[in-house]
Structure 1
């Protein structure tokens, strides 16, 4: 018995997640970045994470070409950045209105992100419409703040204790 796509999407909307912008830079394709909520830790030793990227995205293609990327974990006041990197704007427009700098591996690091993880691709797995990309974390930058969350089709923030 197969689950229909709308049922599947409705169930996944009930999973609260943090919001990231995955960035890369390749020689052929230049700067690329996209909003992604499919992000998780994989291993502590060696330090590895995974991101899931739709195969049709230009960010995914550039990431697999460059073999380096960054995961920028957004703060609660970066909804506009999430929307900017999720929308139909050009890649140049996405990067034009956000402060960023090149990381050690060449991937763009968003200057106001809660955390930035610079990674090299160690494995890619094709799964349906997506690539599961496993990256070894080579450098981490952490800042203070609260995370941007996404739940049931809307941005959320942590409640004070």
Structure 2
């Protein structure tokens, strides 16, 4: 039995996840970024995370070219940032509207995110239409706030 694409999407909508913006700068210094909910911790020793990125994205291509990237965990107040980095805007427009700083490796880190992880690519695995990218976390910046969550096709926050 083959799973229908709409059934697959409907099932995955029931998984609540945090929202991140994955960022990088390619070899030419061009900033790249995209919204991603496929993010997870992998290992404590060494500290590693993974992100899943569509192979067709310019952010994914820039990340694999530069071998460094940032994962910015968004706050509940950053729904517009998530939409901006997920939408049909240019990379320049995405970064022009949000405060960011260059990390130690040169990747852009969003200044108002809940946390920013600066990572070095240690492995990439092709899986269907996506790359699974494993990164070793070289630096972490933590800030205050509540996370932005995504569930059943919409944004949510924590109910205490």
TM bucket, shorter chain = over 0.9
Runs of 4+ in 1 over 4 A off after TM superposition: none
C-alpha distance after superposition, 1:47-105 (max 9, x if no partner): 00000000000000000000000000000000000000000000000000100010011
Residue 42 of structure 1 corresponds to 42
Please, which runs of 5 or more residues in structure 1 have no aligned partner? Answer: none
Give yes or no for the alignment of 1:104 onto 2:104.
yes
Aligned residues: 160
Measure how far apart 1:29 and its partner are. Answer: 6.4
Please, which runs of 5 or more residues in structure 2 have no aligned partner? Answer: none
Measure how far apart 1:27 and its partner are. Answer: 1.9
C-alpha distance after superposition, 1:110-143 (max 9, x if no partner): 0000000000000000000000000000000000
Q: CA RMSD in A?
A: 0.7
Residue 159 of structure 1 corresponds to 159
Residue 92 of structure 2 corresponds to 92
CA distance in 1, matches of 2:83, 2:7: 25
User: What is the TM-score when the length of structure 2 is the normalising length?
Assistant: 0.99
CA distance in 1, matches of 2:45, 2:33: 27
Greater displacement, 27-36 / 124-133: 27-36
User: What is the TM-score when the length of structure 1 is the normalising length?
Assistant: 0.98
Residue 124 of structure 1 corresponds to 124
Measure how far apart 1:28 and its partner are. Answer: 3.3
Measure how far apart 1:10 and its partner are. Answer: 0.5
